Amino acid sequence: MANFYGAPEISAETLSQRLENKNNLLLLDVRERWELAYARLPGKKIMLAPLSQLAQHGLAALPAATRNKQKEIVVFCHHGVRSAEVTAWLIQQGWENVHSLAGGLNAYAEQVDPSIGRY
């Protein structure tokens, strides 16, 4: 837990391995819609819940698939700050198996897959 919010994190390398092994986890992108044009995880089913929408609408802004509080969820954003905040908030709301991507999509691009782009 190396973030300000004390949220549990998963490293880019670990996430990559988990995705390769087809682990049944959900990916929740909390970036804003305009950010999708700059960088994306290719070929991955990713649910979008921008932080601005979560702040405005609360739990109602979550995609239906993420509402199962026992489902494993990895939350990510650009650098890992927003995702850590959302991860901590979800834990406060009763989610049991949620992690923030340490360093965000930027770290994933640096450490795992440079083809996804950086901004």
Q: What is the CATH number of the domain that holds 86?
A: 3.40.250.10
Q: Give the amino acid at 83.
A: S
pLDDT tens digits for 65-115?
Answer: 999 999 999 999 999 999 999 999 999 999 999 999 999 999 999 999 999
Task: List Cα–Cα distances, 61 to 19, 54, 66, 73, 117, in angstroms.
Answer: 25, 5, 10, 15, 27
Q: Is 1 within the bounds of a domain?
A: no
Q: Is the pLDDT of residue 61 over 60?
A: yes
pLDDT at residue number 1: 52
pTM score, whole prediction: 0.94
Domain count across the chain: 1
pLDDT at residue number 21: 86
Active site residue 51: no
Which of the following is catalytic: 77, 88, 90, 101? 77
Q: Domain range holding 82?
A: 9-114
Percent of the chain with pLDDT over 90: 85
pLDDT at residue number 41: 86
Q: Is 74 within the bounds of a domain?
A: yes
Q: How far apart are CA 86 and CA 100, in angstroms?
A: 8
Q: How far apart are CA 53 and CA 29, in angstroms?
A: 12
